Amino acid sequence: MINYFSSDFKLGILGGGQLGKMMLYDTRKYDIQTYVLDPNSEAPSRIACDHFEQGDLMDFDTVVNFGRKVDILTFEIEGVNIEALKKLEAEGIKTYPSAATLEKIQNKAIQKEFYTEKNIPTAPFKRYQKIANLIADVESGARSLPFVWKSATGGYDGKGVSVIKEAEDLQKLPNAECIAEEMIPFKNELAVIVARTPSGEVKTYPVVEMEFHPTANQVEYVICPARIENHVAEKARAIAKQVSEAFEHVGLLAIEMFQTENDDILVNEVAPRPHNSGHYSIEASYTNQFEQHIRAILDLPLGNTDSKVGGIMVNLVGDKDYEGEVVYKNIDTIMKMDGVTPHIYGKKITRPFRKMGHVTIVNKDINEARNIAERVKGEIKVISRS
Amino acid sequence: MINYFSSDFKLGILGGGQLGKMMLYDTRKYDIQTYVLDPNSEAPSRIACDHFEQGDLMDFDTVVNFGRKVDILTFEIEGVNIEALKKLEAEGIKTYPSAATLEKIQNKAIQKEFYTEKNIPTAPFKRYQKIANLIADVESGARSLPFVWKSATGGYDGKGVSVIKEAEDLQKLPNAECIAEEMIPFKNELAVIVARTPSGEVKTYPVVEMEFHPTANQVEYVICPARIENHVAEKARAIAKQVSEAFEHVGLLAIEMFQTENDDILVNEVAPRPHNSGHYSIEASYTNQFEQHIRAILDLPLGNTDSKVGGIMVNLVGDKDYEGEVVYKNIDTIMKMDGVTPHIYGKKITRPFRKMGHVTIVNKDINEARNIAERVKGEIKVISRS
């Protein structure tokens, strides 16, 4: 085994946002030397890494030069230059997840075609190189409304996805490659995180459930374990494992899924990195997702993915009416509540709907956790000074 | 409430060793700005803080100049210049724990006299200004052998403490202020961590048990909860609370105690900071000791001190036969075991018995955790490159 701990070994991380920041708790715990590249000099990961560099993740030379300094390269954001990863791999620098895996995921149309090819259940869809082709299909009646439009590239946190209900909605869409997906009525939106090592050891985390606001189309709570029947949970974990193996993925893969009215599981999309749906694991799991990612890419034994207690995650997003220097109003009130831990990502400026942090609520009784989570959501507000 | 999160508020920490390093996980989680002072440019806390300064913690000017840069000052090691803390307090900089509290603790003779004054149960002792006075008492028969000698100052991690069995042992002792303490036969060595805020909110952690090696006089396992009767645990927690209030302590106070053959609890000594006996809390508790210390000194609500699961801590100390660049032999073997998390402090050089890290083992069943802990101890070795 390579000596990763307090040694000359160097781990590179592309991206220095909140996911990178949380990953650094675990590289610090293991005293693994880290290099971080991010375009923002004020990135949350700028401290706690050993070496921080400011630079463009989509620039070939920047990524290649950065990657040459490290022994293993990983990323916390998918928007990185794939040609640079290929070049580095050719030079013998290990990249986990690999360029080949990322390439299949970065473009949502390619990702969907990959599911079809591998017999992974997913909602029916069609790929369009240009928006004009999609408009033609709608006009000819070949595609009926409503349907889900997804941009092939550049989508993130709900951007690049729209439900198209009327023909005139089509006019607002960018003229880029996209897919049109059948709208599937579903009972639940679920997610499973899978960890896989270069040696092929695989472990899945329990199924989590995204609970949506009853009227606003917005995830309010990520709940672990999902309040679903065992046989559905087992099916979801089995499919997640199948997806990870199909991609020959190394590291963490978060798989978002729909549970249909008939209890079928359809894969929606994946993220090849630690994921918002796994933040609960810091407080609730035997092995949190960030530590697991580090274990996986270093080909160390994977840790126990079970939960010690029930966990619920609430995102802290900037209030829609405020912009400016951030204030976490009533944070002291929520810290009085049982099993409540706020995570503050370290962004100084709040903007409407900006992800500023999250709050985890843990409890042996998941229903009690859910009650406390509702009180948390009712109290805390991400606003700005006066 | 002061806005501590992602703000201009500055927390100063005197000392940048492993305790400081682990505290920084939680200042990062809350995005609290930190300044760290440590004499070692390679200190474990040198990264993950916002500003690191190299300097002598016992030097008056260094500590005063450092302290003037921050709003609240705390420490992770007791060996700091108290006059500097007093000066800073006089200038309006909050110091938690206070100079007055630390002064009562730094000198073990004063600490013991304080217990007597406050009716806190402790082993009978006598204070000696010079070693010659102690020797005279032994020679005159006023003090009978065996007894425990403790240096009044400078003791740490077993240094400055000796069991004196024969008169000739006295010749090895330094000529400094000390105490001689009656040897009390005890069943168990226990510890309780108390958190207390400036507003006076107080919480105690569950009682932990130090399990000693059957022949070598060395703590092998710190076990939470201690395997003792409930009424003894309640008594220990009540006395711990009494000690914290007597000191008017703010922050964390770790109280080491003996459970005598008659189930009396005697206070041995205290540490006014996060403590080795609380490391299990990172994985096992609803609120780990480092987060709790931050909550306490910032006068935020204290978190739940209960455990999610049973926890056992094993220290990783340098093997007696090795010195040089550290290697953690068989770390991959222990990472395969259920609920095992190594913590590597980040010291590049191992030396015999140097504290290099610790391993936490968590399990719903404390007896199963104890079995795994024994396997961990049997496998991992802290050695050096040949």
Domain ranges of chain B: 10-95, 124-181, 184-308, 309-386
What is the per-residue pLDDT for B213? 81
Between CA B250 and CA B256 the distance in angstroms is 18
Structure tokens at A158: 């709900």
Substitution target in B286, B290, B326 with the highest count of A β-carbons within 10 Å is B286
Residue A129 pLDDT > 70, yes or no?
A: yes
Distance from CA of B22 to the nearest CA of A (A): 8
Q: Is A326 on the interface with B (CB under 8 A)?
A: yes
Least confident span in A154-158, A193-197, A316-320? A154-158
**B307: which strand partners?**
B285
DSSP secondary structure letter of residue A160: T
Distance from CA of A46 to the nearest CA of B (A): 9
Q: Residues of A with CB below 8 A from B359's CB? A: none
How confident is the model over A192-219, as a mean pLDDT? 92
Distance from CA of A155 to the nearest CA of B (A): 28
Cα angle: B13, vertex B16, B22; to 5 degrees = 90
Q: Is A234 annotated as a binding residue?
A: no
Phi and psi angles of residue A34, each rounded to the nearest 5 degrees, phi first: -125, 145
Please give the torsion angle defined by the CA atoms of residues B211, B216, B217 and B220, in that order, rounded to the nearest 10 degrees: -30
pLDDT in tens, A20-44: 999 999 999 999 999 999 999 999 9
pLDDT in tens, B118-161: 999 999 999 999 999 999 999 999 999 999 999 998 765 567 88
Sign of CA dihedral B356, B362, B367, B368: negative
- Could you say which of A287, A338, A344 has the minimum Cβ distance to residue B6? A344
Q: Is A335 on the interface with B (CB under 8 A)?
A: yes
DSSP collapsed to 3 states, chain B:
CCCCCCCCCEEEEECCCHHHHHHHHHHHHCCCEEEEEECCCCCHHHCCCCEEEECCCCCHHHHHHHHCCCCEEEECCCCCCHHHHHHHHHCCCEECCCHHHHHHHHCHHHHHHHHHHCCCCECCEEEECCHHHHHHHHHHCCCCCCEEEEECCCCECCECEEEECCHHHHHHCCCCCEEEECCCCEEEEEEEEEEECCCCCEEECCCEEEEECCCCCCEEEEEECCCCCHHHHHHHHHHHHHHHHHCCCCEEEEEEEEEECCCCEEEEEEECCCCHHHCCHHHHECCCHHHHHHHHHCCCCCCCCCECCEEEEEEEECCCCCCEEEEEECHHHHHCCCCEEEEECCCCEECCCCEEEEEEEEECCHHHHHHHHHHHHHHCEEEECC
Q: Is B339 on the interface with A (CB under 8 A)?
A: yes
Q: Which CATH class is domain B309-386?
A: alpha beta
What is the per-residue pLDDT for A221? 97
Substitution target in B45, B50, B308 with the highest count of A β-carbons within 10 Å is B308
What is the per-residue pLDDT for B155? 63
User: pLDDT exceeding 90 applies to what percent of chain A?
Assistant: 91
Which of B372, B366, B311 has the alpha carbon at shortest distance from B336?
B372
Residue A219 pLDDT > 90, yes or no?
A: no
Between CA A156 and CA A342 the distance in angstroms is 23
* Element of type H or E holding A289: helix A289-297
3-state secondary structure of A158: coil
Between CA A118 and CA A98 the distance in angstroms is 19
Q: Under a CB-based contact definition with an 8 Å cutoff, are residues A315 and A380 in contact?
A: no
Question: In CATH, what number does B124-181 get?
Answer: 3.30.1490.20
Q: Is B90 on the interface with A (CB under 8 A)?
A: no
**B381: which strand partners?**
B329
Query: Does CATH place domain A186-384 in 3.30.470.20?
Result: yes
Name the pairing type of β-strands A125-128 and A178-181.
antiparallel
Q: Under a CB-based contact definition with an 8 Å cutoff, are residues A46 and A37 in contact?
A: no
What is the per-residue pLDDT for A326? 96
- Could you say which of A24, A301, A336 has the minimum Cβ distance to residue B332? A301
How confident is the model over B80-89, as a mean pLDDT? 98
Between CA B250 and CA B349 the distance in angstroms is 35
For B184-308, CATH number out of 3.30.210.10, 3.40.50.450, 3.20.20.140, 3.30.470.20 equals 3.30.470.20
Q: Is B286 on the interface with A (CB under 8 A)?
A: yes
What is the per-residue pLDDT for B158? 60
Between CA A264 and CA B27 the distance in angstroms is 44
Q: Residues of A with CB below 8 A from B335's CB? A: 295, 300-301, 303
Q: Which CATH class is domain A10-95?
A: alpha beta
Which of A145, A168, A177, A158 has the alpha carbon at shortest distance from A256?
A158
Q: How far is CA B291 from CA A331, A340, B23, B30, B228, in A?
A: 15, 12, 7, 9, 27
Residue A157 pLDDT > 60, yes or no?
A: no
Between CA B333 and CA A366 the distance in angstroms is 34
Residue with tokens 């005279």: B136
Between CA A191 and CA A278 the distance in angstroms is 9
Sign of CA dihedral B316, B321, B324, B329: negative
Which of A22, A13, A59 has the alpha carbon at shortest distance from A355?
A22
* Amino acid occupying residue B115: Y
Name the pairing type of β-strands A186-196 and A251-260.
antiparallel
Least confident span in A51-55, A273-277, A340-344, B150-154? B150-154
Structure tokens at A37: 């590249």
H helix intervals, A340-379: 366-379
The answer to whether the CB atoms of A6 and B336 lie below 8 A apart is no
Residue B300 pLDDT > 80, yes or no?
A: yes
Q: Is A342 on the interface with B (CB under 8 A)?
A: yes
Mention every residue, 6+ apart, whose C-beta is less than 8 A from residue A50: A33, A34, A35, B47
DSSP secondary structure letter of residue A355: E
Residue with tokens 């739940």: B304
Which of A49, A64, A124 has the alpha carbon at shortest distance from A95?
A64
**A163: which strand partners?**
A148
Q: Under a CB-based contact definition with an 8 Å cutoff, are residues A67 and A89 in contact?
A: no
Between CA B298 and CA B93 the distance in angstroms is 13
Between CA B159 and CA B202 the distance in angstroms is 31
What is the per-residue pLDDT for A25? 97
> If 0-12 CB within 10 Å is exposed, 13-18 middle and 19+ buried, where does residue A284 land?
buried
Q: Residues of B with CB below 8 A from A25's CB? A: 25, 28-29
Q: Is A126 annotated as a binding residue?
A: no
Residue A155 pLDDT > 90, yes or no?
A: no
What is the per-residue pLDDT for B270? 96
pLDDT in tens, B214-246: 777 778 999 999 999 999 999 999 999 999 999
3-state secondary structure of A371: helix
Q: Is B108 annotated as a binding residue?
A: yes
Name the pairing type of β-strands A10-14 and A72-75.
parallel
Phi and psi angles of residue A293, each rounded to the nearest 5 degrees, phi first: -60, -45
Q: Is A199 on the interface with B (CB under 8 A)?
A: no
Q: Is B76 on the interface with A (CB under 8 A)?
A: no
Q: Is B13 annotated as a binding residue?
A: no
Q: Is A21 on the interface with B (CB under 8 A)?
A: yes
The answer to whether the CB atoms of A338 and B304 lie below 8 A apart is yes
DSSP secondary structure letter of residue A277: G
Which of A354, A348, A358 has the alpha carbon at shortest distance from A327?
A348
What is the per-residue pLDDT for B156? 58
User: pLDDT exceeding 90 applies to what percent of chain B?
Assistant: 91
Phi and psi angles of residue B179, each rounded to the nearest 5 degrees, phi first: -125, 155
Average pLDDT, chain B: 95
Q: Residues of B with CB below 8 A from A29's CB? A: 25, 341-344
User: pLDDT exceeding 70 applies to what percent of chain A?
Assistant: 98
Distance from CA of B335 to the nearest CA of A (A): 6
B184-308 against B309-386: fold identical: yes
**A164: which strand partners?**
A147
What is the per-residue pLDDT for B214? 78
pLDDT in tens, B314-336: 999 999 999 999 999 999 999 99
